[in-house]
Amino acid sequence: MAKWFQSGRRRDLSVILAGEGELSGQKLKTRLERRYDERIEPRSFYGALSSMKDAGFVETRTEGVADLYSLTEAGKERVREQFEWMREHVEE
């Protein structure tokens, strides 16, 4: 397992993108804030996305004025691995 998934924020961002597909940065941030029930500093939020992009797990494209984020195949594979690991430990 790559160290990038040791961060709960990166893991949770990946889960949201895996379930909902491509999202704008603002929609993604809003969904994560709803999950955490607290505001997330934009610098921290976009820093997490940037590190995921640099690692090759997230890709972006621009549509109008919005950047849209989605998981790469490598990102999807990491989510599947995490899901399987969790299933093994929860079902015991």
pLDDT digits (tens, 9 = 90+) for 21-40: 999 999 999 999 999 999 99
> What is the Cα–Cα distance from 20 to 18, expressed in whole angstroms?
6
What CATH code is carried by the domain that includes residue 69?
A: 1.10.10.10
In a domain, residue 16? The reply is: yes
Per-residue pLDDT band at 85 (split at 50, 70, 90): confident
Residue 61 belongs to some domain of the structure: yes
**pTM: predicted TM-score of the whole model, two decimal places:** 0.87
Within the chain, what is the greatest distance between any pair of CA atoms?
Answer: 48
Q: Which of 5, 86, 44 is nearest to 71 (CA)?
A: 5
| Domain range for 80 | 8-90
Identify the bridge partners of residue 71 per DSSP, sorted by sequence position: 58
67 domain residue, yes or no = yes
- Has residue 27 been placed in a domain? yes
Number of folded domains that form the chain: 1
In a domain, 2, yes or no: no
Is residue 3 situated within a structural domain? no
**Closest Cα partner for 52 from 84, 89, 16?**
16
What's the Cα-to-Cα distance from 21 to each of 33, 45, 46, 91, rounded to whole Å? 17, 18, 18, 27
